[in-house]
Chain A
Amino acid sequence: MAKIIIPTPLRKFTLNQSAVAVKSGTVLESIKDLTTQFPELDKHLFNEEDQLRGFVRIFIGEDDIEDLKGGITEVNDTDTISIIPAIAGGTN
């Protein structure tokens, strides 16, 4: 099992757990396993088109998955995945 680190604002939805064990596979499969375990998280991580929301940045170890293979990046059992918000907004 891989491990996902949960940012503070989302821990309400993981019973205050800061880390959750998830299935390995692709990084998207691992995150979907997280939202299967904690369904209330799904709408905060994925939009209506089932795409990751704009603020959701995923790292494997120190590496942003956007610098790897995106959602299809392979995750091993020893990997630590971090969900880190890139907070954004504005008038428009």
Chain B
Amino acid sequence: MQISIEPAALKEIHLISERTYPNECCGFLFGTNDGLESKITRIREVINNDENSRIHYTIPPKEFLKAERFALENDLALIGVFHSHPEHQPRPSGKDLDDALPELSYFITSVHEGEVMDTRSWRLTDHRNFVEEPIEILFKNKLSKSITQ
């Protein structure tokens, strides 16, 4: 799956990741999906009320229902979930893998000393492993660049 994001949406994720540091943030990614390519145009933060929010995030079922309703009402697709890893690499942990859903993109942003370092996107395979999917940033002149090395 190709995945791309509008710069404003990525910037919003980064601002939320830095504002919530040293705790983890979380939220949903919305946009369009034609089965081959997902384009993220909007994001929505969910307040992370996990009691161990420095190392965990939890999005309760009612927030998932709200996100599905938001997508329906705005003619958008629910593309995935974002969260931050304060002082850790933007790679899925065992906990991320255990609780992952198929068919969603998982954006992970690493934050070091309050500053965003990197964002990577991961997707669950049919064998329940994560594979990285390169993120393309959408610019209005349609040129894009990958933020994945």
Contacts and interface: CB of A to CB of B under 8 A. Distances in A.
Contacts of B57: 88-90
Contacts of A43: 128
Contacts, number: 94
Contacts of B98: 47, 53-54
A89 B103 contact: no
Nearest to B98: A54
A10 interface: yes
Given A7-B64, A87-B99, A92 B56 contact: yes
B102 A91 contact: no
Interface residues of B, number: 36
Nearest to A43: B128
Contact of B61 (A10, A40, A47, A84): A84
Q: Which of B58, B86, B106 has the most CB of A within 10 A?
A: B58
B99 A88 contact: yes
Given A84-B61, A87-B81, A44 B102 contact: yes
Interface of A: 7-10, 12-13, 40, 43-44, 47, 53-55, 57, 59, 64, 84-92
Interface of B: 24, 26, 50, 52, 55-61, 64-65, 68, 71, 78, 81, 83, 85-88, 92-93, 95-96, 98-104, 106, 126, 128
